[in-house]
Every structure is written in C-alpha cells, then in structure tokens.
Amino acid sequence: MKKDLLKLLDLSKEDITRILNTADQLKYEKKHGVTQDYLKGKTLAMIFEKNSTRTRVSFETGMFQLGGHALFLSGKESQIGRGEPVADTARVLSRYCDGIMIRTFGQDEVEELARYAGIPVINGLTDFCHPCQVLADLLTVREHKAVLEGLKLCYIGDGNNMANSLIVGGLKMGMEVSVACPEGYDPAPQVLDFAKSDSAHKFSLFRTPQEAAAGADVVFTDVWASMGQEEEKAVREKAFQGFCVDAGLMALTNPGCMVQHCLPAHRGEEITAEVFEAHAQEIFDEAENRLHAQKAVMYLLMQDK
C-alpha cells in the first residue's frame, strides 16, 4: 500500500483484499479478547470540518483498542479553520503525531495535506469519495456472501461520494456494478471514466431504479441531500421521486439480496421503514464494520511508522 488512504482509485485489488483480510483478523481478535496494542504510543490527529457520529466514534474507539490515542481537532476551533495553509498544518502535525484522519469537503484539501505530511493521511470523507465507508461495506458483503467477485452491486440515488467509491471499490473487486441516478445527478466524470477504462468492468448507469436493481445481490442507497446540500432539499426531493428502495424494488432482486445504508437513514425518502427494518441486521453490521475496517487501515499505515 501507499503511505496514505486518499481514495479507492489509488488502491489495487490486492491492497483492498489486504485491508479486508486484516480487518477480519482484528475483528476476530477483538471478539476473542486478544490484546491489540499494535499502535501503542501512537497518536492520530482527527481533523473534522464536517460533523460526524460514526466517523469520530469509530476512529477514536479504534485507536484506543489498538493501544493508541486519538486527538479531536474541530475545523472551526483549529488554526486550519482560521486560514492557516493546509501545508503548514500538515508539517506541524507531522512533528507531533503518527497519522492524520481528515473529514472535510474538498478532495484537493486531503491531497494537499498528504503531499506535505510526513505521516500517513486517511480520508475520513470528502465530497468526492468515502473510502473508509466502502471498505466497511465490502467487508460486510463478504461476511454475508463469502465472496465479492461475481456478485451484482446496485446503488440507487445521488451520484455522490458514496456512489463514486462504491463504483470504484466494486469494480476493483470484480463485482458487477449497476447504478440508478436521476438526470443531472450522475457520479463524478473521473469515476465514470474509470468504469469505462477496462473491458473487464461490468458497469451500467440507468435512469430508473428498477433497471438497476434487477438481479442484484446487494442494494445500496444514501440520503438524497448530503451534508452541505440542505438548501437543495426541496429540489432534490422532487428530482428523486421514485428512487426509494421499497418492497416493490426488492422484489426485482435476487433471493437473499442484502440492503446496505451508510446512515443516517431518512425512512420514507430513500428507503422505506419496512425495508430498512427487514435488513437492519445487515445495515448495523455495516456500521460496526467501520470500526474494524478503519482499524485495519490504521494498523497497515501507522504500525512501525
């Protein structure tokens, strides 16, 4: 693996498999009471310019379980939020800490941070991608289905950071990927170019959820208006009418089809309460696996660094 985890486009299939296998091992050890002091004495600086529940708790808990310490830095309260150059923040934190996790808006900020940091940088989320979430998603699907290659992954909703990372992660792991987005809400051009870059990639982009969901083994969805898009809520609600994961849509999928949602979920919008509760075990397995997947990333990037 490279020094940092900035986006799944940077990883090979072998890199992703190594992360998933390490997450499996760390999860097994935790469940069986094995001491995990692999990052003893290490400190992770966590920069949050976007609010979070799962990202903060899972990274902070994960560092504690690995024997290290996590330091929370609010964007509004730190110098980076007051205009200090990202390059300067990177170089200062590299003198104090052993790794940086950042959850922010622009992908360019994460890339610049990594360029100047002498320690590993982990992308906790940007508007472009959500690599840690999708690593947890892949881990969950593999736990339930035993394999990834050959499965059909379907995503219904906005072509946002989740869609971008699911397309890349799914295709890199040999899955068929089918996406349904309304006109004007497509995934990033860079991601669509990647999907078309290899004849082995099985990728489809549809305008109706029914076409995308046919024969799916796992269905993903996400909120229609992400953080920072609150002012677009009314417009998006109109654009996404019909893009709800409901019982009728699930009837088109393969028997035993999973449902995954990165949370928080808006029941009655992108997913019905009925479907959510029917698949709640899988969805909260997915939420738990944020912890294990991120522990694997921190272990692989920060140990002996």
DSSP string, 144-202: HHS--TTPEEEEES--SHHHHHHHHHHHHTT-EEEEE--TT-PPPHHHHHHHHS-TT--
The structure tokens 């088109």 sit at 252
Contact indicator for 261, 220 with CB cutoff of 8 Å: yes
Q: Retrieve residue 265's tokens.
A: 């979920």
**Residue whose C-alpha is closest to residue 113's, from 47, 19, 41, 16:** 47
**Active site residue ranges:** 103, 130, 133, 222, 262, 290
Quote the crossing angle between the two packed helices 131-145 and 161-172, to the nearest 10°.
50
Contact indicator for 122, 103 with CB cutoff of 8 Å: no
> Residue 46 is which amino acid?
M
Are residues 271 and 245 in contact, defined by beta-carbon separation less than 8 angstroms? yes
Helix axes 280-302, 13-31, angle to 10 degrees: 110
Cβ count near 156 (within 10 Å): 28
8-state DSSP, 5: B
Contact 22, 296 (CB under 8 A): yes
